[in-house]
Amino acid sequence: MKNEKLITLIICAATGLCVADTTNTVSKARKPKQVFTFDFDLPGWKIAHVDQSGDFTLIEWTNNESVTNWTELVSGGILFIDTTKVHAQRYANFYVEGIMPGSIDFKVNCLVDTPDNVVIEWSHKGSGKWPAQREITHISRGKDAIYRLAYTVKETSFDKEKYDLWLRSIRDAKLVDEK
């Protein structure tokens, strides 16, 4: 991973200024007040999937792979919710509880745990739906939404050096105000 300028991935989907065509989906979504910035090596990565509704946006990037057959996946999610009532810790618990059922040998490690920011690593040896994988997830409570940024890798493609770079990048990601 190169040490690139800070890249605002979520803004890409929010504004429609993306490598992939997101016409007709982006315009229907709410615009976030904030975006994550983090180091991201762009060559090869493309938007592979976008799912949007009035209150939720999910964008998934793959590195020259399809969204149905990936080895590495970067995902960004925005859940527009009353953040005075739902903090990052509460959403992180909800997120983990959604992954646990059916997962074999599920493990989770919390690296940062504050009401505004939670960074977790989780892994499992497979589930009924997914092969063995591990993920680094950063969940932040923003002004208008809960923001999630993650890097997921299938165990068969795990590279410790690359994973450690992603770990630092996702952990150190910051929410900044949208311009």
Look at the domain 9-177 and name its fold.
Protein Transport Mog1p; Chain A (3.40.1000)
Q: Which residues contact 55 (CB under 8 A, 6 or more apart)?
A: 30, 79, 80, 81
Predicted pLDDT at 42 = 65
Question: Which bin fits 131, alpha (ψ -120 to 50), beta or left (φ > 0)?
Answer: beta
CA distances (Å), origin 111, targets 56, 81, 87, 105, 121: 26, 24, 17, 19, 8
Strand (E) positions, the chain? Answer: 34-37, 45-52, 56-63, 72-80, 107-113, 117-124, 133-141, 145-154, 174-177
Query: Which positions of the chain have pLDDT values less than 70?
Result: 1-29, 41-42, 179
Domain boundaries along the sequence of the chain: 9-177
Q: Degrees (nearest 5) of the Cα angle 33, 18, 38?
A: 60
Query: Helix or strand or coil: residue 116?
Result: coil
Predicted pLDDT at 28 = 57
State the Cα–Cα distance between residues 164 and 176, nearest whole angstrom.
Answer: 24
Upper half-sphere CA count for residue 118 (Cβ side, 13 Å)? 23
pTM over 0.85, yes/no: no
Predicted pLDDT at 32 = 81
Show the tokens assigned to 29.
């979504």
Predicted pLDDT at 53 = 85
Predicted pLDDT at 34 = 78
